[in-house]
Structures are given as C-alpha cells and as structure tokens.
C-alpha cells in the first residue's frame, strides 16, 4: 500500500474502527450496496468460478433466482445442471417397468 493510501485510510477511519481490514470491509459493503451493477458482476464471476450456488449468486446480485437465470441467459452464459447419468436413469426405468 502506498503512503498516500495509508494516510487516506488513517484520515477516513472512524474512531470506532479497529483495523484497516475492517475499514476496507465497510467500504466494500458500501460500494456493493450503492452499485447494483457491481453486485451483479460479482455474482456472475462467483457463478462462473463455481464458488457459489445459483441461489446464493442471485442473493448477492440482489435479484430473484429467476431474474438471475434471465441475466445469465441475456449474457449467453450457460448453466451447468447436474443430474444422474443416462445409464443410471435407464436402469431406474427398467426397475420400475
């Protein structure tokens, strides 16, 4: 961190703030709250890296799960859906019938 940045953090830190990490966390939350586009971009990146579920990404983006699916579709991002292998499905069908 440059000296100028450190100095700004000292000036910006309220008296109750105990650490620079806490201050950075507070600023991050403010930025995320004030910029819906940033929340959506973060959620898309988490989804792309498979670091969060679809529902969690929607929550982070501040939209419903259906709206998040629409955002994915609009951007041409395909969702990976896990399921049983075809052979397993065929075996289950044969067991039933």
Q: In 3D, which of 53, 59, 56 has the Cα closest to residue 82?
A: 53
Q: What is the mean pLDDT of residues 76-92?
A: 80
Q: In 3D, which of 72, 28, 83 has the Cα closest to residue 20?
A: 28
Give me the DSSP letters along 24-70: HHHHHHHHHHH-HHHHHHHHHHHHHTT-S-HHHHHHHHTS-HHHHHH
Q: Which residue has the tokens 């940045």?
A: 5
Judged against a pLDDT cut of 80, whether residue 16 lies above it is answered with no
Q: Which two tokens stand for residue 38?
A: 């940033």
Alpha-carbon distance of 89 to 74, in angstroms, equals 31
Judged against a pLDDT cut of 60, whether residue 15 lies above it is answered with no
User: What are the pLDDT digits (tens) for 31-79?
Assistant: 878 888 999 999 999 999 999 999 999 999 999 999 999 999 999 998 8
């Amino acid at each position: 961190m440059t000296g100028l940045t450190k100095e700004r953090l000292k000036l910006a830190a309220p008296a109750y703030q105990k650490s620079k990490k806490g201050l950075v966390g507070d600023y991050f939350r403010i930025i995320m709250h004030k910029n819906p586009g940033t929340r959506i971009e973060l959620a898309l990146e988490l989804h792309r890296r498979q670091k969060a579920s679809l529902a969690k990404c929607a929550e982070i983006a501040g939209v419903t799960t259906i709206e998040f699916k629409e955002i994915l579709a609009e951007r041409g991002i395909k969702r990976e859906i896990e399921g049983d292998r075809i052979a397993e499905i065929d075996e289950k069908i044969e067991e039933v019938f």
